[in-house]
Amino acid sequence: MVRQECINCKATYGIDDIVYFCKKCGDILEIKFDINELTENIDIYDWKTKPISVWRYRPFMPIHESAKLITLGEGGTGLHHSEHLGTELCINNLYIKNEGENPTGSFKDRGMTVGVTKAIELGARHVICASTGNTSASLAAYAARAGIRCTVLIPSGKIAYGKLSQAMIHGAKVLQVKGNFDEALEFVFKLGEKHKEIYLLNSINPFRIEGQKSLGYEICDQLNYETPDAIVIPVGNAGNISAVWKGLTEFYQLGLIKKLPKMIGIQAQGSAPIAHAIKTGNDKIIPVENPETIATAIRIGAPVSWKKAINAIQESHGTAETVTDEEILDAQKTLARIEGIFVEPASASSIAGLKKLIKKGIVLENEKIVCITTGHGLKDPDTAIKQSEKPIEVDANIEAIETTLDLRKAILAR
């Protein structure tokens, strides 16, 4: 039977129990399906005829049949064959799975459509999360769609303006906590503990992870079930890498794909506890006390889903890498200029990481690689403007414009 299960002691809970941490050992939970039951479900539904989107995979979701779906049309994002970037990086078969194409501009929508649908099923009228920006933008939109109250806690310091404007316009109550993301998240857990009427939708919520696993399914579907050799993905709180791996392993267990890719997690150098654990061969992370990076979305020192992430990397024989802010910005600009794909800095870390792994000989020229870019560039316009050529002011006459564009010489030479 489909259930919630502790990743450590394997204690189980029903899918309608409101429980965020295991009551026996305190660890985080995941949704477990019985594979035979799942096989039966997917045989009954005609899922392969539906368009590629999160809800194409409805029979794979722990949501009752009677549920009213809270959806804005999430998933079905492009998997772009990136020949120019591939040539630049000396790799023949590179794909970008661009999650910025989701309704609120990030992969978070995959989790929120399922998470908020579940919240409504459970009768919640008030939802909450802590966020570096994208989770709050997404939750605010889905809560608005569902007609329920939404509170978001954001850390002090810079929050990318695109994301903040989304949470605000959708009517969420935005509290900027005088602390970092990890501290804001602790308050969310405490509020959930004290006020049972508030439903928590951070990435420890396993229903959100279920929505996000559709990212793994989609990559397989879009590649005609020929799995790539590796998937490169930015890592912050570590929910997404775990979710993608869960989707892939389910497709594998169902016999839909014949092999599994390596999972490669990329973190920003100033906030890289998982990458450090992997590089030093440790099974445990050492939290980073004051995480810093220009990629504010992944400025996280104590990722809650670190165990799931380390498991995904180890089980898949993958690895992790760190990238500097400079490398991130360089990758962001390159991707925008030669592929026409504008992503926010955290997203560009997957491209920067890939570049490093190719240089180190860890990723090889003839491998099929999928880089996930997680959020749209307009989320953080300030950073994009700062590293681009400024607009040039010209007089309002054609000659001035032609002179500025160096077109006068051509006219005079005629």
Site string for ligand F0G, 31-70 (x = CB under 6 A): ----------------------------------------
Number of shown-chain residues binding ligand F0G (CB under 6 A)? 21
Q: Would you count residue 383 as binding ligand F0G (CB under 6 A)?
A: no
Beta pairing partners, 198: 126
Tokens of 205: 């919520």
Site for ligand F0G in 328-357 (CB under 6 A): 344, 346-347
Report in angstroms how near the CB of residue 156 gets to ligand F0G at its nearest.
Answer: 14
Q: Would you count residue 94 as binding ligand F0G (CB under 6 A)?
A: no
Report the distance separating Cα 369 and Cα 355, nearest Å: 12
Distance of alpha carbon 146 from the chain centroid: 22
DSSP string of 34-87?
-HHHHHHHHHHS-GGGSPSSGGGGGGGSS--TTPPP--S------EEE-HHHHH
Q: Would you count residue 375 as binding ligand F0G (CB under 6 A)?
A: yes
DSSP string of 335-384?
HHHHH---B-HHHHHHHHHHHHHHHTTSS-TT-EEEEEE-BBGGG-HHHH
Residues 6+ apart with CB under 8 A from 188: 128, 129, 130, 153, 200, 202
Output 184-188 pairs: Cβ under 8 A, ≥24 positions apart. Answer: 184/130, 184/131, 184/153, 184/154, 184/155, 185/130, 185/153, 185/304, 187/130, 187/153, 188/128, 188/129, 188/130, 188/153
Report in angstroms how near the CB of residue 286 gets to ligand F0G at its nearest.
Answer: 18
Nearer to ligand F0G, 65 or 320 (CB): 320
Nearest C-alpha neighbor of 68 from the set 154, 147, 131: 147
- Beta pairing, strands 12-13 & 29-32: unpaired
Site string for ligand F0G, 149-168 (x = CB under 6 A): --------------------
Q: Would you count residue 297 as binding ligand F0G (CB under 6 A)?
A: yes
Nearer to ligand F0G, 71 or 132 (CB): 132
Q: Would you count residue 322 as binding ligand F0G (CB under 6 A)?
A: no
Q: Which of 203, 227, 293, 334 binds ligand F0G (CB under 6 A)?
A: 203
Nearer to ligand F0G, 93 or 330 (CB): 330
Report in angstroms how near the CB of residue 35 gets to ligand F0G at its nearest.
Answer: 25
Looking at 11-19, 125-133, 222-230, 363-371, which segment touches ligand F0G (CB under 6 A)?
Answer: 125-133
Q: Would you count residue 238 as binding ligand F0G (CB under 6 A)?
A: yes
Q: Would you count residue 30 as binding ligand F0G (CB under 6 A)?
A: no
Q: Which of 77, 106, 166, 383 binds ligand F0G (CB under 6 A)?
A: 106
Looking at 29-37, 168-176, 188-196, 231-239, which segment touches ligand F0G (CB under 6 A)?
Answer: 231-239
Positions touching ligand F0G (CB under 6 A) are 106, 131-135, 203, 234-240, 297-298, 344, 346-347, 374-375
